[in-house]
Chains A and B, each alone.
Chain A
Amino acid sequence: MIKPDLKHAILDELRLEDWQIDDETTAAEVPGWDSLSHVNVILAVEKAFGVRFSNVEVLKLNSIGDLQRLLDSKLG
């Protein structure tokens, strides 16, 4: 499940009022989240939660559920 604070960080970066985001949602399904803005979304999430993702971690993400799990693992 995608927690509200992650959803909020993503939507805020993409200037979206609201958008359905669940575990299986991929970046390509979210308006404005394309290959060029991907790095901005990742940096925004890092900033919002005070965490750092490595290149390898970022490259392995396939869905927003993966991002939530990675974030949870960082926040312990």
Chain B
Amino acid sequence: MMVGLSGNLYTSSLRMPRGVGTEHETAWSRWCKNAAERPNSEAIIHWTGGEAAFRWTFSTLLAAAKEYASSLVERGVRRGDVCAIILHHNSQLYPLYLAVCAAGAIPAILAYPNPRLHPDKFRQGIEGMSRRSGLDWILTSRELQPVLEPLVTGSGSTIRGLHFPLEWEAHREDSQRLQEHPPQLIPTDPLLLQHSSGTTGLQKPVLLSHNAVLEHVKRYAEAISLTNSDKIVSWLPLYHDMGLIAAFHLPLIFGIPSIQIDPFQWVMAPSLLLEAITQERATVTWLPNFAFNMMAFKVRDEDLHEVDLSSLRLIVNCSEPVRYESHENFLKRFQPYGLRPTAFSACYAMAETTFAVTQTPIGVVPTAVALDRASLARGKVEPVTDGVPARICVSSGRPIEGCEVRIVDENRFDAAPGSVGEIAITSAAMFSGYRNYPEKTAEVLCDGWYYSGDYGFQVDGELFVIGRKKDIIIVAGNNIYPEDVEDAVGAVPRVIPGRLVAIAEENPELGSEHVAIIAETSITSEHDRKSLRLEIVKAGMASGITIASVYLVPPRWLIKSSAGKPSRKGSREKLMTDRQRSEVWSG
């Protein structure tokens, strides 16, 4: 699947490091070369609110990685083993990740469990994931030992042991040995395992080789005109492709610094990102759409006194549909603080293609088109006329080098020009299939094309992404499967069994979607309805899902699908029309 190097990456104006992606190169050899060529240059700045940042240079990062690698090998980790990393974001996470690669093993960063999630649910999720991903070891904190320990001893699990690397003493002597006998990695060896979204326990594992990642970041670096004076800043989680590939691997491979902020800290104090940009003179960041709203609306003026965003040349909106209003509001709020209107851009990306598929041109405001909303709902792309409700769609750009995009109809034939359809992709950095999941692979991968399940259209070669084929709810960049929500709340007493649906509701304030439930019930008193709403919300909480709206409706209100089950789409449309009617109770 891999293709050769593109020559124009090596133009002198870009001043890229020499030899990225050469025939024998691996990510590990690239990191070692960076450490040798620029030992004292900053590699990762771990940014923490209210404390001094922890600063890794390329040499200190690699030295720490070698120490951790020796300890991993000593504890039985072998070449090809999959090591899940489940840790809070902290300064040791980065060398530990590199250490797994140094040992020839495969890192897979997984989300730290949400405190609401019931421990049994979390464990079941990891167990399900382990069967597909073939997890061998879990590197975690002592806090999770009681929850995860049963997975080591239980039958049917692939997990051989838990390790607690944050408790390890350094092994300098051993790391010297690793330096003298580096791992004999080759470019086709697997580098990492990242997970695409899926219902709980069924996340789809994507295995990527050193070569695939090196090639992809090289192509993407070209698409965003990366230079060695760039400085990346990110609050994104590393279990997501945007955080892992764009904001972590890309700078590490190109030998430029990245500032990493704990996602939990950022969401509690969104101005942390602005503070980091100002103090570190950062130039490039990636944000899901809701983050534009969080910062435009939830940061107080008092927190902006010293903010200066003039260093920022590129903000890439990626991982949920781009909303025009979010860019407008962000610009209005931050232009007085030095934000350049031309810094906005958008990208369409996914784990299955390593990361990016398309990217808008750099230094140009992304194209926006005003379309007839009603026509768009019928799958037709038509310009809006006066007095008709419009939907403004923002471009995600053209395919980056090595990628192609088609819009297809339900039979996977090319859709007529001007039609909305499913986005199909072929990419030089395409995955070869989900690990141990042939049936899911067969559903989405056919003749070298990946059928994304996303809906969109093209205008003059630019891709516009407007939604999902399936009923997935995208909340703040996270894909939530309605089946998971329905399972979580399906057993709540007084909801008629099997008679509820989970749907997406647009949340304009958040710049994203939230989860809503429509449930049939026979109860009618206000007191009972309020108490039922609370029971539904609590049932979602136990599965780590926030239910923002509950609609209670009388028996036989939900629209049935042809299979006789409640139809999410049909019921959602009915709700939009009938929301004001007295038979619909909302809370």
A interface with B by C-beta (< 8 Å): 15-17, 26, 28, 31-32, 34-40, 42-43, 52, 54-56, 58-60
Contacts and interface: CB of A to CB of B under 8 A. Distances in A.
Contacts of A56: 49-50
A58 B510 contact: no
Given A31-B538, A34-B546, A39-B294, A52 B272 contact: no
Nearest 6 pairs of A and B residues by beta carbon: A56-B50, A28-B115, A55-B269, A31-B537, A34-B546, A35-B267
Contacts of A35: 264, 267-268
A56 to B, nearest CB: 3
* Main DSSP-derived SS at the A contact region: helix
A5 B510 CA distance: 27
Nearest to B272: A55
Interface residues of B, number: 31
A32 B116 contact: no
Contacts of B587: 15
B491 interface: no
Given A39-B268, A39-B270, A58-B269, A32 B537 contact: yes
Contact of B267 (A26, A38, A43, A60): A38
B88 to A, nearest CB: 13
A35 B115 CA distance: 10
A37 B541 CA distance: 14
Contacts of B271: 55
Given A28-B116, A39-B298, A59 B546 contact: no
Given A28-B115, A38-B267, A43 B298 contact: yes
A29 to B, nearest CB: 8
A26 B538 CA distance: 15
By secondary structure, the B interface counts as helix
B332 interface: no
Contacts of A36: 267, 290, 475-476, 510, 546
A58 B265 CA distance: 9
B534 interface: yes
Nearest to B294: A39
B269 A59 contact: yes
B546 A52 contact: no
Interface string B502-525: 000000001000000000000000
Contacts of B538: 31
Interface string B278-320: 0000000000001000100010101100000000000000000
Given A26-B115, A55-B271, A31 B264 contact: no
Nearest to A35: B267
19 contacts: A16-B534, A31-B534, A31-B541, A34-B116, A34-B546, A35-B268, A36-B290, A36-B475, A36-B546, A37-B546, A39-B298, A40-B298, A43-B300, A52-B302, A55-B50, A55-B269, A55-B303, A59-B268, A60-B50
B546 A38 contact: no
Nearest to B115: A28
B171 interface: no
